[in-house]
Chain A
Amino acid sequence: MHPVSPPLPLPADLARDQQRFWAYAAAFGAAWGSLEIVVGSFLHALRLPFSGALLAAAGAALLVAQRQVLPVRGLTLATGLVAAACKSLSPGGVILGPMVGISAEAALVELALLAGSWVPSAAAAGALAALWAASQKVLVQYLLYGGDILSLYVEGLRRASGWLGAEQSFGFALVAAFAAGLALVGASGGLLGLRAGRECRKLLRPGDGPR
């Protein structure tokens, strides 16, 4: 005997809402994959540093736009899970890193959009996604090497400031400024997604859009 019956297929009227939810998760998960391929190749060709944060901003733009078209809680996270699951089809190698990265980005955007689909939350969504992309490497190193890696970074910043003849806090100020710059880029992506989503909502005829 097991506790409580497991959920079975939903009634027809509710199933349509669920169908729409997962159809959007699938289509936009695929769109995110396409964005990574096309924009990723473009940024790689330009050899821009921290292109991961720019890609994250583009992904956040897509997710924010999706939320304008179908404003359903949980859709952003589901889209991220679909996109991450698609990554699992990559042949060989370590795949957990990108899968975790995509899922985490989606979770952060979902968190930001819980406050509603308006300018501050769209900006916050983009900023969080860009900051996550930049900090994921550090977090992975923390998992790999332990807490001493953070001590190493802090000491490295202090020493570098000393060698440059600046105050010890100069390095940290530089890091803070860099983080602010990334957040700004991410926020711009979020706002771009907000505008694109609202324009898209007007383009889709009422019959095509969600009930």
Chain B
Amino acid sequence: MSAPSPLARGRRLMPALALVCIGLQFPGRLLPTTGALVIWLAALAAFDRDTLRRLWMPRFLTLTVLVALAAGMLLGKSDARLWGLPFSRSGLEAGALMTVRGLFIFGLTSWASRALMRDELRGLRRLLRHERLATAMASAVQLIPGLTGQLRRSWSEQRQRGRLSPLRLQSALVSLVEAAARIAEAQLVDPEPAIRAAPRARRVAVSGPQGSGKTTTLLALAERLRGGGFEVGGVRQPVRYEGGLRAGYDLEALSGGERRPLARARTRDGGRAEGFDFDPDAWGWAAERIRAARRDHDVLVLDELGRLEARGEGHLPALAEPLEAERCGLWLLGVRADAVDRLAERAGPFELVFAPSDDPAVLDGYARQLHEVLGERRQAA
């Protein structure tokens, strides 16, 4: 990769230089503000001549000079004469400051608006970028010509009927609003008929508070289902301990056994955890394995779902994503007790809700019920 040219390097310094110049003119004194303007114009001359050329706007420059002269005549006590007219020295100084500051701010905003379209403010653009806004904007740009034509026709029709009255204006507006609303409704995406018609996987929850044995129950049930000839996939969330303390969570794939960090505890000096920092890439990793389990296995085991999923985040999007072909007939989910109702609203109602248990007889009973659910699902498919 070749080294950046001096011009490119200079352009990258412009944001920092802009901040320096803003700082210089901030106190509102004539000399530093003039210095800021000179530095900025010099920088534009060196690194951005296009923007410098665009600063030549005679109307704006004339207005600025008139503002300065008006300040000289109106502000402060008249103690001088210029071209036979009474002027104030302090007013002229204030006018000069206004002129210099106005030119500087104008030069700054001209550069900023062009830089937003280039790479210098990449970070800010990334910050402001919003996928849905970008999509909506692209859609709007395509719609403008058609809607403009429609409004022109409607406007002409109303004017041909006579003088424009509030009722006629209202009719033209109704026509535009109706057209826009119908376009918006027509843009809504309808899911593929195949996905809608596909039988949904049955949802079974193992629900309990933290540390009640949800994971142990889930793994025991997964073993019993494997023993019954079903293929089981999914992701579990084992706790990672360090020095006897809970240090975070990992993610582990049930088929294959791959493991990676999910979250690490943020600790105070006393070693007490005060929250977790999640690795955003971990969600994508888990989502791939959830999708694979839904496509290629009979049973998806997912541990655990909690308040994050109840808010629509975490693992939930991977569960809600429509798949063209889903082999999975059963979702066996470890669910925190305080999130089970909200999750039922988001992910669909639970067929069964099991309490955690390590009693083999209870687990066998659970497994029998799951076999029935899977048997019914196979018949439906």
Say whether A8 contacts B283, CB under 8 Å: yes
**Cross-interface CB contact of A148 among B71, B182, B279, B312, cutoff 8 Å:** B71
B317 touches A86 (CB 8 A): no
Task: List residues of chain B with CB within 8 A of the CB of A193.
Answer: 173
Task: Please tell me if the beta carbons of B110 and A5 are within 8 angstroms of each other in the complex.
Answer: no
A192 contacts the other chain (Cβ, under 8 Å)? yes
The 8 Å CB contact of A27, one of B75, B94, B143, is B143
B54 interface hit (Cβ, 8 Å)? yes
Complex alpha-carbon distance, A62 and B28, angstroms: 42
Q: Is the CB of B317 within 8 A of A9?
A: yes
Contact status B277-A3, CB under 8 Å = yes
Given known A-B contacts A11-B346, A23-B188, A65-B177, A83 and B140 have beta carbons under 8 A apart: yes
| CB-CB nearest in chain B for A14 | B312
Residues of chain A lying within 8 A (CB to CB) of residue B151 = 31, 34-35, 38
Taking CB atoms, residues of chain B closer than 8 Å to A14 are 312, 346
Is the C-beta of A18 less than 8 angstroms from some C-beta in chain B? yes
Q: Is A204 an interface residue (CB 8 A)?
A: yes
Contact between B181 and A204, CB atoms less than 8 A apart: yes
In contact, A5 and B170 (Cβ under 8 angstroms): no
- Residues in A whose Cβ lies below 8 Å from that of B277: 1-4
- The answer, yes or no, to whether A25 is at the interface (CB within 8 Å) is yes
How many B residues, CB 8 Å from partner? 84
Min CB gap A109→B, angstroms: 15
Contact of A2 (CB < 8 Å), options: B132, B185, B280: B280
Known: A26-B143, A86-B144, A148-B71. Is A69-B137 also a contact (CB below 8 A)?
A: no
Main secondary structure of the interface of B (DSSP, over half): helix
> Is B152 part of the binding interface, using a Cβ–Cβ cutoff of 8 Å?
yes
Q: How many whole Å from A37's CB to the nearest CB in chain B?
A: 5
Q: How far is the CB of A72 from chain B (nearest CB, A)?
A: 12
Is A145 a contact of B101 with CB atoms below 8 Å?
A: yes
Given A2-B279, A3-B277, A144-B105, check contact A34 B144 (CB 8 Å): yes
Q: Is B46 an interface residue (CB 8 A)?
A: no
Which residues in B have their C-beta under 8 angstroms from that of A49? none
Shortest CB-to-CB span from A55 to chain B, Å, is 13
B275 to chain A, nearest CB (A): 8
By CB atoms of chain A within 10 A, which of B106, B136, B319, B322 has the most? B136
Contact with B along A118-156 (1 / 0, CB 8 A): 000000000000000000000001011110110110011
Among listed A92-100, A163-171, A172-180, interface-contacting one: A92-100
Could you tell me the distance between the alpha carbons of A29 and B132 in the complex, rounded to whole angstroms? 14
Q: Is B144 a contact partner of A19 (Cβ separation < 8 A)? A: no
CB of A189, distance to nearest CB on chain B (Å): 9
Q: With a CB–CB cut-off of 8 A, which chain B residues contact A22?
A: 132-133, 135-136
B139 to chain A, nearest CB (A): 4
B94 touches A148 (CB 8 A): yes
Q: Are the C-beta atoms of B173 and A94 separated by less than 8 Å? A: no
**C-beta contact mask, A83-114 vs B, less than 8 Å → 1, else 0?**
10110110011111000000000000000000
* Closest-CB distance, B173 to chain A (whole angstroms): 4
Chain A residue with the shortest CB-CB distance to B67? A145
- Residues on B with C-beta less than 8 A from A208 are 181-182, 185
Is there a chain B Cβ closer than 8 Å to A203's Cβ?
yes
Counting CB contacts under 8 A, is B216 at the interface?
no
11 contacts between A and B (CB under 8 A): A10-B312, A12-B322, A19-B187, A19-B188, A26-B137, A27-B180, A30-B143, A35-B176, A62-B176, A94-B109, A149-B98
Given contacts A2-B278, A30-B143, 13 further A-B contacts (CB under 8 A): A1-B277, A5-B278, A12-B320, A19-B187, A33-B144, A34-B150, A69-B177, A82-B140, A85-B140, A89-B141, A151-B75, A195-B170, A208-B185
Instruction: Please report A residues at the B interface, Cβ cutoff 8 Å.
Output: 1-14, 16, 18-20, 22-31, 33-35, 37-38, 42, 61-62, 65-66, 69-70, 78, 81-83, 85-86, 88-89, 92-96, 141, 143-146, 148-149, 151-152, 155-156, 159, 188, 192-193, 195-197, 199-200, 203-204, 208-209
